[in-house]
């Protein structure tokens, strides 16, 4: 039996409801619904995680399970699918699912690392590869992409998304959806994507996971909703509710977001699933009194499938009989579930080729793409004296707890990644450059939280015998991800001391940071000559980093989230609104305040006396081994109508010695609005590769309609007035160009 693969283009998906195929699907759903008992309908709304297979099969046989979660053995999936199709009364196939977040076997960089590429193509390819590998095992639904806007690096799940910017998250989320779901002509496997978490989860108060999200309504619409609207437009087959509440209403019971916005305003006809037990957790929130109340509020709000709270299957039959939920509402939910199964082709091809999975995992093309993603994701934050690349060294000391940590470099949400297939930096350096450079390895610390400083004196002595030190520091995988929030974002253990000991040798020190979030590495920059920041880079991170260190590849990554000076600045993000007293940068800082100074507030501005005015590194920041110059930035007109497109031209020059790629970024500011507007907003970006010394005329085309926002009257539109525009290499650079919208 050949593996089943069915794919859908975005246009085909959007047209399904109106075309003959879509009409046929609806007729088949009607026919099935007419045969189903209420209990069988509730069974379709029930998702169960992997457990005792005999018990699971009995539940499936009774029609009490619509989807299974966390089974990755294709033989086991086939066995349970066979029970559903051949032994249950109606033969409705199961929907096998799994958290495939940044790869299945071949692990790509964590999503935050992928965001640093500013490259939708490589993200689309990574999701396509994940779909190929996972669906070969029978997985047809993934709970990704996470398109929460995350402005606080203390939140552990910042690792799982695309950072702090709405536009970047929208573009990359669409690319990931397209990769998972494929296209009609590719012939490759497909998984249903799941846009999550709807909505506002990334704004968890204090960065503490599962906390409430204090988001004003217009901010919700202008900042947090656009990526999800883009996901609907891209044909995302499913949505997942979030754990948080907004304005006192948990998302899983929020009819406004699930019905008024998602269904009625945006026209979503896919399926909505709760997050793990988020229906049941509404009891702890104090929003539901008991299991039945939780299930009733979730289903009436618009949730179709329950993930592991057991409240739907356990209480909704009685709730229907008591009139708390109409059977019509149940039918709508089941219709959405069945429609998804029909669209995935599960009724026609429910089984998977059990031998194919072993053939496709870690295919050479998959590993090559993962390596490319890891190369593009690395951000060069410092490079004093052109320390990198290490072209002239003949010996290096490799040290630090992340140099040879195959499990940890995979990062969070790597359920199916295998440490045995991980290529670490130490292994890559030895294999790729060991015949040219003497490589000495002394980890000094055994893991990132290791506080033992007993080996640091020896580290300093060993460093004096080599030309350069490469120190691999960062976070173990377990220190980021769901439920792994931190209040202190400094390097853990004695890692900062390790860098200090290496620097004491007098040799050049290169720090390579592998982490799940932007850490507060200001103090560590003082103890290294160069710093390469590589968010947990995945299976092929070792090869990518080795080639970057020795100049085979050139860094091009840009920060998808602001680097803070210290955690006390959080939340901190580039696209904030101005205050009535913005900082000028000339204010007196704490070390400059004289003793017994008089108390005054005259002329005071918005800043911290200790950490100052801005971040350590702004959004969009990233160096290269070469230098780029922007010149001749201009727009085609001074005034634009509502239906016009702003045509931006500029010249980009590679003024250095290396062929390299720059991520050019387009920012806009609306100077006066009916509500205050951000000081800058990303509206476009493109990766531009130039040879050393090459210049190129480049363009951005920005439709004026993309300047729209929800204003004072709660209507979304472009407001007339004065604007500014920048083209630069990060969010803090460039000179503004004025224009006006009529």
Separation CA 626–CA 482 (nearest Å) = 38
**Cα Rg of the chain, angstroms:** 27
CA distances from 527 to 334, 510, 599 (A): 59, 9, 37
Q: Which residue has the tokens 């052109």?
A: 386
Separation CA 699–CA 367 (nearest Å) = 33
Residues in the chain, overall count = 742
Instruction: Tell me whether residue 511 is exposed, middle or buried, using C-beta atoms within 10 angstroms of its C-beta: 0 to 12, 13 to 18, 19 or more.
Output: buried
Contacts 24+ apart (CB under 8 A), 414-421: 414/101, 414/102, 414/103, 414/107, 414/477, 415/98, 415/99, 416/72, 416/98, 416/100, 416/103, 416/104, 416/105, 416/134, 417/103, 417/105, 417/107, 417/538, 417/539, 418/105, 421/105, 421/362, 421/539
Separation CA 306–CA 45 (nearest Å) = 6
Instruction: Tell me whether residue 497 is exposed, middle or buried, using C-beta atoms within 10 angstroms of its C-beta: 0 to 12, 13 to 18, 19 or more.
Output: middle
In three-state secondary structure terms, 288 is coil
Residue 446, number of CB atoms within 10 A of its CB: 12
Beta-carbon contacts of residue 681 (< 8 Å; ≥ 6 apart): 166, 167, 575, 667, 668, 669
Q: Which helix (H) or strand (E) covers residue 173, if one does?
A: helix 166-181
Among the listed residues 614, 633, 639, 603, the one whose alpha carbon sits nearest the alpha carbon of residue 721: 639
Among the listed residues 223, 251, 222, 249, the one whose alpha carbon sits nearest the alpha carbon of residue 239: 251
Separation CA 107–CA 103 (nearest Å) = 4
Separation CA 545–CA 378 (nearest Å) = 8
State yes or no: cis peptide before 96, omega within 30 of 0.
Answer: no
Of 152, 209, 275, 404, catalytic: 275
Question: What angle do helix axes 311-321 and 291-301 make, rounded to 10 degrees?
Answer: 80
Among the listed residues 619, 622, 488, 621, the one whose alpha carbon sits nearest the alpha carbon of residue 562: 619
Q: What are phi and psi of 287, to 5 degrees?
A: -100, -20
In three-state secondary structure terms, 323 is coil
Angle at the Cα of 339 from the Cα atoms of 333 and 341, rounded to 5 degrees? 110
562: tokens are: 């602001």
State yes or no: cis peptide before 17, omega within 30 of 0.
Answer: no
Ramachandran class of 693: left when φ > 0, alpha when ψ lies in -120 to 50, beta otherwise: left
Sequential DSSP letters for 410-464 = G-SS-TT--GGG---HHHHHHHHHTTTSEEEE--SSSSTT----TTHHHHHHHHT
Q: What are phi and psi of 606, to 5 degrees?
A: -90, 100
275 is catalytic: yes
State yes or no: cis peptide before 275, omega within 30 of 0.
Answer: no
Residue 741, number of CB atoms within 10 A of its CB: 18
Q: What is the separation, in whole angstroms, between the first and last Cα of the chain?
A: 62
Which residues participate in catalysis according to the annotation?
A: 275
């Amino acid at each position: 039996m050949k593996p089943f693969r069915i794919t859908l283009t975005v246009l085909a998906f959007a047209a399904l409801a109106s075309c003959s195929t879509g009409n046929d699907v609806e007729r088949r759903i009607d026919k099935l619904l007419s045969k189903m008992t209420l209990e069988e309908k509730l069974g379709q709304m029930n998702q169960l995680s992997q457990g005792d297979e005999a018990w699971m099969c009995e539940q499936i046989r009774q029609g009490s399970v619509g989807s299974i979660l966390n089974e990755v053995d294709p033989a086991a999936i086939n066995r349970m699918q066979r029970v559903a199709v051949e032994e249950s009364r109606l033969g409705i196939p199961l929907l096998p699912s799994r958290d495939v977040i940044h790869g299945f076997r071949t692990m790509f960089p964590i999503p935050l690392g992928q965001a640093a590429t500013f490259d939708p193509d490589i993200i689309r390819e990574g999701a396509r590869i994940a779909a190929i590998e996972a669906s070969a095992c029978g997985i047809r639904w993934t709970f990704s992409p996470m398109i929460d806007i995350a402005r606080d690096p203390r939140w552990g799940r910042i690792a799982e998304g695309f950072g702090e910017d709405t536009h970047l998250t929208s573009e990359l989320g669409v690319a990931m959806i397209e990769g998972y779901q494929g296209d009609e002509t590719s012939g490759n496997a497909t998984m249903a994507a799941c846009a999550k978490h709807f909505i506002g989860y990334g704004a968890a108060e204090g960065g503490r996971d599962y906390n409430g999200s204090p988001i004003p309504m217009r901010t919700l619409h202008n900042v947090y909703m656009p990526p999800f609207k883009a996901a609907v437009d891209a044909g995302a087959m499913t949505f997942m509710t979030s754990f948080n509440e907004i304005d006192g209403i948990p998302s899983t019971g929020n009819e406004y977001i699930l019905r008024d916005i998602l269904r009625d305003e945006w026209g979503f006809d896919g399926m909505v699933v709760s997050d793990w037990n988020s229906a049941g957790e509404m009891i702890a929130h104090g929003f539901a009194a008991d299991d039945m109340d939780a299930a009733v509020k979730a289903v009436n709000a618009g949730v179709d499938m329950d993930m592991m709270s057991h409240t739907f299957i356990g209480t909704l039959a009685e709730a229907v009989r008591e009139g708390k939920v109409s059977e019509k509402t149940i039918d709508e939910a089941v219709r959405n579930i069945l429609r998804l199964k029909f669209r995935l082709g599960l009724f026609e091809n429910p089984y998977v080729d059990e031998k194919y999975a072993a053939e496709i995992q870690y295919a050479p093309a998959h590993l090559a793409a993962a390596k490319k993603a890891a190369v593009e994701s690395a951000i060069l934050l410092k490079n004093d004296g052109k320390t990198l690349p290490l072209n002239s060294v003949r010996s290096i000391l490799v040290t630090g707890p992340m140099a040879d940590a195959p499990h940890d470099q995979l990062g969070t949400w790597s359920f199916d990644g295998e440490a045995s297939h991980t290529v670490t930096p130490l292994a890559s350096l030895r294999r790729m450059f060991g015949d040219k450079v003497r490589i000495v390895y002394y980890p000094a610390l055994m893991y990132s939280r290791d506080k033992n400083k007993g080996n640091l004196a020896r580290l300093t002595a060993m460093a004096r015998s080599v030309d350069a030190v490469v120190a691999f520091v960062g976070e173990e995988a377990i220190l980021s991800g769901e439920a792994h929030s931190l209040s202190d974002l400094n390097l853990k253990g004695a890692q900062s001391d390790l860098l200090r000991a290496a620097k004491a040798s007098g040799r050049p020190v290169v720090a390579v940071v592998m982490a799940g979030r932007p850490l507060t590495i200001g103090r560590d920059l003082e103890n290294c000559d160069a710093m390469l920041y590589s968010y947990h880079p995945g299976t092929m991170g070792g090869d990518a980093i080795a080639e970057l260190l020795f100049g085979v590849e050139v860094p091009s990554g840009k920060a998808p989230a602001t680097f803070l000076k210290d955690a006390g600045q959080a939340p901190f993000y580039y696209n904030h609104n101005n205050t009535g007293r913005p900082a000028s940068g000339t204010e007196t800082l704490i070390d400059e305040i004289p003793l017994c100074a008089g108390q005054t507030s005259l002329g005071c501005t918005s800043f911290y006396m200790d950490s100052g005015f801005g971040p350590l590194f702004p959004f969009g920041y990233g160096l290269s081994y070469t230098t780029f110059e922007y010149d001749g930035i201009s727009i085609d007109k001074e005034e634009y109508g509502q239906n016009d497109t702003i045509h931006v031209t500029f010249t980009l020059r590679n003024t250095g010695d290396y062929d390299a790629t720059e991520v050019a970024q387009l920012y806009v500011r609306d100077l006066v609005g009916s509500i205050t507007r951000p000081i800058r907003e990303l509206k476009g970006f493109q990766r531009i590769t130039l040879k050393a010394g090459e210049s190129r005329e480049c363009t951005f085309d920005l439709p004026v309609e993309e300047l729209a926002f929800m204003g004072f009257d709660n209507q979304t539109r472009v407001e007339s007035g004065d604007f500014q525009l920048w083209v630069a290499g990060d969010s803090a650079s460039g000179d503004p160009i004025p224009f006006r919208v009529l």
